Amino acid sequence: MIELCRGADVLIHDAQFTPEEFAVKANWGHCTVDYAVTVAAAAGVGRLVLFHHDPSHDDATLDALADQARNHPAAADLDEVICAHEGLTISLQPGALRSR
């Protein structure tokens, strides 16, 4: 996964589960927030966008997960960590790419 993501300016990554949820749903094919941050940092990604949220999570839970991601030790290597949300637009402009 790290090689696939290496050097991406933006990584939109599944982050459906908390570690506690993942412990009982590990075979559901979804990731934790911690895993997404770890992969993004190891791959040298600029901006991490967490998406594919669990439908049972309310806005307060998503805000807490976003804070958890931003406070993860590996997040220090990222430019930005955000949670995808309805209406979010990410603009990728030619010439705005950076080199790592």
95: left (phi over 0), alpha (psi -120 to 50) or beta: left
pLDDT in tens, 50-77: 998 878 888 898 899 999 999 999 999 9
Over residues 73-93, mean pLDDT: 89
Average of per-residue pLDDT values in the chain = 87
Taking the CB of residue 26, how many other CB atoms lie within 10 A of it? 11
pLDDT at position 85, please? 86
DSSP state of 77: G
Closest CA to 17 of 45, 50, 59, 49: 50
pLDDT at position 99, please? 44
pLDDT in tens, 9-55: 999 999 888 888 878 888 887 889 999 999 999 999 999 999 988 78
